[in-house]
Amino acid sequence: MKVSNKFLLACEGVMTKKTRTFMLALGVSVGTAALVFLVSIIFGAKAYVDNTVGTIRENLLVVKPTERNSTPGKPLNPTAYLTIQQNIGTVKGIYREFPIQPRPSILVRSFEPSLKEGEPIPAMDLGALVEVVGVDVGLFNERHPEFKYNHVEPVDKSKAAFAPSKEDYVPIIISKTFVDLMNTLAGGNNPFVEEFRKYIKEGQTFFIALDDDKAYRCKIVSEDNSATPYSVSVPYQYAEEWQKEQKPNDPMPNYSRFVVEANDIRDLDTIKEDILLAGYQPDPTPEQKLSISVSRGATYLFAVAVTFCLIIALVSSIGIFNGLSISIMEQAPRIGILRSVGATRSDISSIYLIEAAIIGVVGCLIGIVAAHLFMWGSDIALKDFLADVTNLRGIETLFVWDFPKVLYIRLGAIGLGVFASLFAGVGPAYRASRLNPAVVLRAG
């Protein structure tokens, strides 16, 4: 029997029981809509997380101080740094890390948003701390403008904007590198440091300048005395000079870590390979570890979504299985007639499988349209009022709308929906093909 004729008979079967077909398709469409919605929101969340994580210096690569194939502790060949830099075109810079003895740092936890954005900051309010930072770092940057530091990092950058109307205190941690830099630049005897130390007291309020037009007034609430070792990164070509100037009494270590900064994060894997070829072992930076952790979290969420999708597909399959089984029992006389006029068992099973596929395709298309409308509506609601009540301000969309991904998600949903329908249709179709025509005709 021609496939086209089977398709025609399947269509006739579907049209004969429109209500049941519609209800079955509705079941599939609910599953498909949930699937598209779930996958889209997971991809959307992942894209948002990736963008956010992408801003935290993920393009750094730390290389362990030992040569991969040599005895640990062996001094690095200084020319190796230059070789790597010359050979790897995508490297933005190579920094040498100097191990620094742990020093007490301060932990600033209160943020007092009393200044408006753009409001001039009175010089006297900046305090000695800013002066110390401004003088020392400024001098160093003047000589080596490519050497830049972020001294103060708000824990939550999205909340760091000025919001005078809100009683919202943002915790800020002054990085250890800042304190260390201050100490090392001053050589431990800088009078500014002594001045700074006066401010490291609980309850002391001062301003920290982040850039030209923003300032934070902070209050020291505690001292962080944890003695975690850390290091200062200095561009390789200035490392020697830096050490002579800043740490003349501290002998150059035999070996130290170095950090490679990629121009583009997408080149990181290539750079890793090149570093491995050069005989060194790249190691993830804390930022990369965070990124990996977040990435794993997103993967975990994705796995959860996939599991939900499979559960949805299974539930839809059970619904279709039941619907088709009942339908076949109701249509037993039709099956008897088809058998009496020449249908083989395989013809019958094919016709019912095609019916299942039609239900699957129709259900998927309805589901995709429904999901699309629902997602579109959700985004509009997000812009209008959801942002205020859900703390999602600044997020343009909850879902992924990029062209290829949108297409793949919908094609995948159709594939899964049709597969679930066919999977559910196999049993009833087989049973239909095994019905004894003489028996069903007599019963009908």
Residues lying near another protein in the complex (CB under 8 A) are found at 1-2, 4-5, 8-9, 12, 15-16, 333-334, 336-347, 436-438, 441-442, 444
Shortest spacing between CB 307 and another protein, in angstroms? 42
Under 8 Å between Cβ of 320 and 22: no
| C-alpha dihedral sign at 166, 171, 174, 175 | negative
With a CB cutoff of 8 Å and minimum separation 6, the contacts of 56 are: 287, 290, 291
State which residue, 15 or 277, has the beta carbon closest to another protein.
15
Strands 230-235 and 60-67 come out as unpaired
State which residue, 323 or 437, has the beta carbon closest to another protein.
437
Instruction: State the CB neighbour count (10 A cutoff) for residue 158.
Output: 11
Shortest spacing between CB 429 and another protein, in angstroms? 15
State which residue, 201 or 442, has the beta carbon closest to another protein.
442
Place of tokens 């990092």: 153
Pair of tokens at residue 277: 């070829």
Place of tokens 């597909």: 313
- Chain centroid to Cα 153, Å, comes to 21
Shortest spacing between CB 2 and another protein, in angstroms? 6
268-277 vs 78-87: helix crossing angle, rounded to 10 = 140
Shortest spacing between CB 13 and another protein, in angstroms? 9
State which residue, 232 or 348, has the beta carbon closest to another protein.
348
State which residue, 4 or 79, has the beta carbon closest to another protein.
4
Pair of tokens at residue 341: 């006029």
Place of tokens 């949108």: 406
Shortest spacing between CB 312 and another protein, in angstroms? 33
Q: Which residues pair with 107 in a beta bridge?
A: 173, 222
State which residue, 231 or 350, has the beta carbon closest to another protein.
350
Q: How far apart, in whole angstroms, are the C-alpha atoms of residue 118 and residue 213?
A: 6
Place of tokens 């509705």: 26
Shortest spacing between CB 400 and another protein, in angstroms? 43
State which residue, 87 or 346, has the beta carbon closest to another protein.
346
Q: How far apart, in whole angstroms, are the C-alpha atoms of residue 301 and residue 147?
A: 39
| Dihedral angle computed from the Cα positions of residues 153, 159, 162 and 165, in that order, rounded to the nearest 10 degrees | -150
Shortest spacing between CB 357 and another protein, in angstroms? 19
